[in-house]
Amino acid sequence: MSLPQTIAAAKKSLDAGEVSAVELTKQALAQTGKWEQKIHAFVEVLEEEVLAQAKESDKRRKQGRVGVLEGIPIAVKDNICTTEGHTRAASKMLENFRSPYDATVVTKLKKEGAVIIGKANCDEFAMGASTEYSAYGPTKNPWDTSRVPGGSSGGSAAAVASGEVLAALGTDTGGSSRHPASFCGVVGMRPTYGRVSRFGAIAYGSSLDQICPITRTVEDAALMLSVMAGQDRRDATTSSTPVEAYHESLSTNMKGVRIGVPKEFFGEGIDPAVATIIHQALKTFEEQGAVLQEISLPLTPLGVPVYYLLAKAEGSTNLARYDSLRFGKQELAAASLIDRYKEARGQGFGPEVKRTILMGTYALSAGYADAWYKQAAKVRTLIRREYEAAFKEVDIIAGPTTIETAFKIGSKTGDPLQMYLTDALVVLQPLAGIPAISVPAGFVNNLPVGLQLAAPHFEEQRLFAAAHTYEQQHNFWQKFPEFTAAN
């Protein structure tokens, strides 16, 4: 029996007794063993631990204690704390770090019976858009292993796309779940800021970070978020807004729903083939009774500079704790404390993390903070207000997730600006604090293209309903990359 394609299908098989959690886990491990030699989606596969978890899951099922995700194999991004295995954030600085506690979302998933297969690869400290900046080697796109899977949650997206796992946890600071979801042809969903606890997620940009589900279908993403969301006393930014059972009311009635299409999303820089796919996708909504309405979001071009100023500033501050006194290599030859810092951070951090420290420290330094950081913060407020105004006119905002399909490995690492520009359409929603989702919308030269939908704050249900409606009209979620010697 092959691994089911979705969480929903796996739950039916488990509930019917057609497969046990141990058997399901072994199937996932077999798929992982096959694909890992090609794509390197994991930095650590927890084979012994996950089989033990699966056995416990089967015991609970026999006792009648069945969680919402009972026996479902998932991957966890390497910057999210788990007591199983290591939590390295794909960095040499945390090479030997084992977390003494689980992140809140991991605790919630375990409580509902999920089993953790391993830690998914990512850009170091989640700082990147291609998963090439991992200290443990790049992840490759299962659709074409000469190309990137997107980032920074590239390992999570590649693991779901290749069928290694049924779902994965990623993080999204400036598109880091939706970007790889688009490149790998899966669903990546960023909740409203404050909808999901960040406790146990290694911080990058604290005012932007969110933990996200990456799945094969919208229904699965809705189910995952139903479990993950909620207020947490250990994260003061979490909201008391009630959590809905998102997966239980996925309406497909789009009649009269107003969908705003920003003209700026189809401007200079977008691949014409990607634009064509998205325009075709938007017609699906019209056919279902929705009303398409062109809108303007004039501040769109400022998204990348504003995001990278704020994220790098917050990132450089968060990185200050990694001094090798508490984390990192301890056997250093440095004669003084400052030399120890230089040696430890010089050896422990990769190029993008060092770039973050330099850019962020500069933006926050005396004489420059007013001109750069504070100015960016003011523009961020204007971007948020621009979206709030747009949502008074429309219910959903739609467009491409990325401006292009997956690019060749190594093609942008020499030009950081070109790498940053790949995030042009996914940094805006984190700046506004709103929920967004990327769903598969087609292919260009056998490379996936993602359709991105965004909704007002805490309107995840509206977002899931629209995305599910689109998904039901197509079979893109049923397409898997072929495992061949060529790819």
Q: Provide the annotated active-site residues.
A: 77, 152, 176
Beta bridge partners of 385: none
SS3 content of the chain, % helix, strand, coil (to 5): 40, 15, 45
Residue type, position 319, single letter: L
Whether 104 contacts 223, CB under 8 Å: no
Taking CA atoms, 101 is separated from 7, 77, 109, in Å, by 26, 15, 14
Task: Give the chain's length.
Answer: 487
Q: What is the CA radius of gyration of the chain?
A: 21
Tell me the C-alpha distance between 137 and 158, whole Å: 14
State the greatest distance between any 2 C-alpha atoms of the chain, in Å, as a whole number: 71
Q: What angle do CA 293, 295, 296 make, to 5 degrees?
A: 170
d(CA 205, CA 209): 6
CA distance 428 to 206: 16
* H helices present in 302-350, as ranges: 303-319, 337-348
Going by C-alpha positions, the residue among 37, 337, 57, 279 that lies closest to residue 164 is: 37
Encode burial over 110-146: b for 16+ CB neighbours within 10 A, e otherwise.
bebbbbbbbbbbbbbbbbbbbbbbbbbebbbbbbbbe
Query: b/e string for 266-294 if b means 16 or more Cβ within 10 A?
Result: beeebeeebbebbeebbebbeebebebee
- In DSSP notation, 342-406 reads HHHHHHH--HHHHHHHHHHHHHHSTTTTTTTHHHHHHHHHHHHHHHHHHTTT-SEEEEESSSSSP
Strand partners, 169: 76, 213
Name which of 449, 448, 455, 443 is nearest 246 in CA terms.
Answer: 455
CA distance 340 to 331: 10
Distances in whole angstroms, Cα of residue 14 to Cα of each of 4, 31, 280:
10, 19, 38
Any idea what the Cα angle at residue 196 is, between residues 40 and 381, rounded to 5°?
105
